[in-house]
Amino acid sequence: MSDRIRWGILSTAKIAETAFIPSLQHARRGELVAIASRDGARAQAFADEHGIPESFDSYDAMLASDNVDAVYIPLPNSMHAEWTAKAAAQGKHVFCEKPLGVSAVEAEQMVETCREAGVLLFEAFVFLYHPKSLKLRATLEEGAIGHLVQMTASFTFPLQRPTDNIRMNRDLGGGNLMDVGCYPITYARFVFNEEPVSVQAACRIDPDYGVDTRSSMVLTFSGDRHAALQSGFDAPGGQRAVIHGEKGYIAVPQPCHPKAQDGFVVCRGDREEAVAVEAGVPPFAPAIEHFHDCLLDKVEPMQTAANAVGTMRIIEAVRESSETGRRVDLI
Q: Which residues are catalytic?
A: 98
Return the closest-CA partner of residue 294 out of 137, 134, 96, 119: 119
CA distance readout (Å), 160 to 203, 233, 245: 18, 8, 38
C-alpha span between 252 and 153 (Å, rounded) = 9
DSSP letters, 193-248, are TS--SEEEEEEEEPTTT-SEEEEEEEEEETTTEEEEEEEESSS--EEEEEEEETTE
CA distance readout (Å), 130 to 25, 72, 242, 316: 16, 18, 18, 27
Residue 120: CA atoms inside 13 Å, Cβ hemisphere, count? 24
Rg (C-alpha) for the chain, rounded Å, is 20
Return the closest-CA partner of residue 154 out of 260, 275, 254: 254
Strand partners, 277: 262
C-alpha span between 145 and 241 (Å, rounded) = 15
Return the closest-CA partner of residue 218 out of 98, 328, 102, 100: 328
DSSP letters, 100-145, are S-SSHHHHHHHHHHHHHHT--EEE--GGGGSHHHHHHHHHHHTTTT
Return the closest-CA partner of residue 32 out of 180, 12, 241, 330: 12
Find all residues with CB under 8 Å of 189, minimum gap 6, and list them: 195, 196, 307, 310, 311, 314
C-alpha span between 263 and 253 (Å, rounded) = 8
